[in-house]
Structure 1
Amino acid sequence: MRKTRAAAVGAATLSLVLAAAACGGGSTSGSGSNEQPRTLTYWASNQGASIEVDKKVLQPELDKFEKQTGIKVKLEVVPWADLLNRILTAATSGQGPDVLNIGNTWSASLQSTGALLPWDAKNFEKIGGKDRFVESALGSTGAQGQDPAAVPLYSMAYALYYNKKMFADAGVEKPPATWDELVETGKRLTKDDKAALGVEGSNLSNNIHQVFVLGKQHGADFFTPEGKADFTSDGAVAAVKQYVDLMADNKIVAPGNAEYAQNQSLSDFANDKTAMVLWQTASATFKAQGMSDDEWGVAPAPVPSGTPGSGKATNSMVAGINMAVFKNTKNIDGAVKFVNFMTGDEEQKILNTAYGSIPPVKSAQQDPAFNTPALAVLRDTLATSASALPQVPEESQFETVVGTAVKELFAEAAAGRPVTTDSVKAKLEKAQQQMPKK
């Protein structure tokens, strides 16, 4: 998921009103008509630097689809802070969009609601077949042993982006490859009103992505093989503490970052306020903020030692956006046609180029536009050193309760209060108590 991004679980009254106002099925050609609706409602996730950027990217493509099929697509770009809550409300009420984007980590959680169209062999055949898609992207489309609940749309991975001028001014010749190097380099870069590293301490999803990867590096998964929450293992506690310690102990993250929740760390980076940021496919956002491509570099995210790989050398979650269809849409055929259009080779090249992401469609991925040095780092990461978040029904609750625990710990650090192994474990114990009992 992009770049992504906070998510809240629950059905707020406002979300219910908004979801009901955007109910699926579009409109028919007239009262009492038996014809298929000629309008689809589409909830798109905020992929660009702003919602307005997304509208400028997507609307010409939706107009193209309407010209080809006669089906109009009514677009709503939903901020990440609202998206999961809106979807869960729609799934509960039975009133939602026809087609929607979801963070790929939510696939199994949303699948368990029964609200999404299963992508069985017959449905995949309508969009060219399942084998068109990269295996790692398909691995984050729902629970194992079940038909996918969604189709991959954009593929992403985390990397370390760094400001070349700030590195040169500090006499740093190359980006750090390990966490020890990152802390050492960070202390050289943190001075005056500039910090070495930007984080988004109030961004629940981003918190989860970072501590999940650190958890893998410490030998923890946050869930047992049977799918039971396991937030208080030594590895999980060490992962969360290491992440928060970038502010609390290492002091290479500005205290104000504890309140960041929606791309503020990218804005700081683009405006030379921080020297590094760990993010998913951020190049398009930098460009939108006025930063030229030659001002920044990209390297694999840090690992404990050695080089990125599998197991404890994992340095990214398998990030990305999936496209799903609500089962109760009044126009299944039109919705599937729209998914087919958006995952077609031509659209995959256009959309992923616009967002700086990587097509999860094999044939589109071969286009030279996706062979740039920056994207090569991301492609290598996805191929060799990324791991999918657990595809369990409780994943969305995990993002909320553990993401909130990390947020609260960053707030403690920003206030100058100590963050200890015991205080981290206490927060994670509280989070685990909020999970459904198995």
Structure 2
Amino acid sequence: MRRLRAATLTATVTALAAVASGCGGGTSPGGGGSNDSPKTLTYWASNQGPNVEADKRILGPELKKFERRTGIKVELEVIPWPDLLNRILAATTSGQGPDVLNIGNTWSASLQATGALLPWDKRNFDEIGGRDRFVAPALGATGAAHQDPAAVPLYSLTYALYYNKRMFKDAGISRPPGTWDELVAAGKRISKDGKWGLGAEGGQLANNIHQAFVLGKQHGADFFDGAGKPTFTSDGAVAAVKQYVDFMAKDKIIAPGNAEYGQNQSLRDFAKGKTAMVLWQAAATTFAADGMKPEDWGVVPVPVAAGTPGGGRQTNSMLAGINIAVFRNTDNLDGARKFVKFLTSDAEQRLLNKTYGSVPPVRAAQRDAAFNRPDTKVLRETLTRSAAPLPQVTDEAQFETSVGTAIKDLFADAAAGHPVTTESVRARLAKAEQQMAR
């Protein structure tokens, strides 16, 4: 791997480390680093299933299948999400990493800036069947604009609005909301007697960013200008953040306790019948694990201000998902490309995305009937029609930290009964913008 420019690497690592919620380090099984055996690959997979062991059970047979076809053995390590980013950062600085790895697609541009990942130019894409096999929105979350992608889409996710059918029926609500006004109206009818209309996770910085980004797009704000400069205090960005926090502060449809909620706590409340609606990515498997039956809940696209998603600036989801990347210093580039080709083949895309409840970013794989069920159809159509990637800027991770924390603090204000005004929102976002300049 070529030497990295120290200033760029240090800045990127510092920003990325800020959003990592665990501490990691170390190397892959067998010592890590570039692999000198053409018959072996090391692969870091992200934890997609209920737990690490479930992922090993899911991926194990597929890796054996790849070995039978190619003669290449894959040494697998499944890394939990709280540890994954720090493990990757340690590998980019030391050069002691896997041959192939999964990354969150919002990290693509930041990790691309380190120079540690293989660029997916035309030749490399041709080796896996061509760039045109992938849906355009998923490719939009693979690295900075006007550069060869740093990774290839593997699993795609989008947000949807999940609602509890019984709670809606008991409140006399005949259909799920399609606009934010309808959502607030439904939430107010439900929010009484210890039950709440909408769940949120105010303590979860990434989720805060995802919701604010979508509302920002609907208000005509992108949070960054064309040159990558933050515009957090624009009227559209301020209006978006205020609208989200106002679900608690003004509309009173989010429980004050949600201001401190972390990962998946809002889903548990939903499954227990404490909350009637939740905005989430591919939640079906989580609901099932918490004892909900498919007939207990419904799913529709995330609301928009008016009309339907997809038209004009009617973005209603950030484009979430997992990309697969190759470390630039691998000594088994041919094997690594074969492995990426295998995992992004039509058959594997159908199998793995069906198992994980995600949507294939490969066009042909989406034709499977599994992605035309009521819930997966909403996710698939959102992916292709109305989702947008988070800003692909090198300091995207710092954006998540600074603005995500601003929203967390505003939720804390709302929970404590303090007023949340346009001025207070703008002040929090101004502070976040100043932090980006440091």
Same fold (TM over 0.5): yes
1:118 aligns to what? 119
Residue segments in structure 1 that go unaligned for 5+ positions in a row: 1-6, 29-34
Aligned residue for 1:118, secondary structure, equals coil
Please say if residues 200 and 207 of structure 1, whose CA atoms lie closer than 8 Å, have aligned partners that are also in contact: yes
Secondary structure class of the residue paired with 1:321: strand
Describe the SS at the equivalent of 1:192. Answer: coil
Structure 1 residues 269 and 18, CA gap change in structure 2 (3 angstroms): farther
* Residue range with higher mean Cα deviation, 223-232 or 410-419: 410-419
Greater displacement, 410-419 / 425-434? 410-419
Q: Which moved more, 1:416-425 or 1:138-147?
A: 416-425
Q: Deviations over 1:156-193 (max 9, x none)?
A: 21110111111111111111111111111001112223
Counterpart position of 1:347: 348
Q: 1:399 to 1:23 in 2, by over 3 A?
A: farther
Equivalent residues of 1:153, 1:359 under 8 A apart: yes
**Cα distance in structure 2, aligned partners of 1:188 and 1:359:** 37
Residue 127 of structure 1: aligned partner: 128
* Offset, 1:227: 1.2
Q: Residues 419-438 of structure 1 correspond to what in structure 2 (within 5 A)?
A: 419-436=420-437
CA contact (8 A) 2:27 2:33 kept: no
1:36 maps to a residue whose letter is P
CA RMSD of aligned residues (A): 2.4
Paired residue for 1:81?
82
Tell me the CA shift for residue 301 of structure 1.
Answer: 0.5
Report the Cα distance in structure 2 between the residues aligned to 1:194 and 1:221, rounded to whole angstroms.
34
1:32 maps to none
Displacement of 1:58 in angstroms is 2.4
2:406 aligned with 1:405: yes
Deviation, structure 1 residue 10:
4.2
* Greater shift in the superposed pair: 379-388 or 160-169: 379-388
- Alpha carbons of structure 1 residues 302 and 11: separation in structure 2 relative to 1, 3 Å: closer
Question: Shift of residue 228 of structure 1?
Answer: 0.8
Distance, in Å, in 1 between the alignment partners of 2:166 and 2:307 is 26
The residue aligned with 1:142 is 143
For the residues of structure 1 that align with 2:248 and 2:30, how far apart are their CA atoms?
Answer: 41
SS of match in other structure, 1:434: helix
Aligned 8 A contact 2:155 2:321 in 1: yes
TM-aligned CA deviation for residue 21 of structure 1: 7.9
Q: What TM-score, normalized by structure 1, do the two folds share?
A: 0.90
Query: Bigger shift: 107-116 or 260-269?
Result: 260-269
Inter-partner Cα distance in structure 2 for 1:75 and 1:356:
21
What percent of counterpart residues are identical? 66
State yes or no: 1:60 paired with 2:61: yes
* Cα distance, 1:192–1:164 mapped onto 2, change above 3 Å: same
Q: What CA deviation, in whole Å up to 9, does each residue of 1:95-153 have, x standing for no partner?
A: 33322222222211111111111111111122111111111111111112211110011
In the other structure, the counterpart of 2:40 is: 38
Q: Which moved more, 1:69-78 or 1:263-272?
A: 69-78
3-state SS, counterpart of residue 328 of structure 2: coil
* CA–CA separation in structure 1 for the residues paired with 2:436 and 2:30: 30
Cross-structure match for 1:222: 223
C-alpha contact 2:33 2:95 (8 A) present in aligned 1: no
What letter is aligned with 1:234? D
Runs of 4+ in 1 over 4 A off after TM superposition: 10-14, 19-23
Letter in 2 for 1:9: A
CA-to-aligned-CA distance 1:21-54 (integer Å, 9 cap, x gap): 88634766xxxxxx43624131x22323333433
> Are 2:334 and 1:326 aligned?
no
- Deviations 1:191-210 (Å, cap 9, x if unpaired)? 22322111111222211111
| Conservation of the 8 A alpha-carbon contact between 1:284 and 1:356 | yes
Match in the other structure for 2:387: 386
Give the letter for the 2:38 counterpart.
Q
| CA pair 60-404 structure 1, distance change in 2 beyond 3 A | farther
Matching of residues 133-212 of structure 1 within 5 Å: 133-212=134-213
CA distance, structure 1, for counterparts of residue 18 and residue 46 of structure 2: 18
Contact 2:160–2:379, Cα closer than 8 Å, also in 1: yes
Q: Secondary structure of 2:298's match?
A: strand
Q: CA deviation at 1:11?
A: 9.9
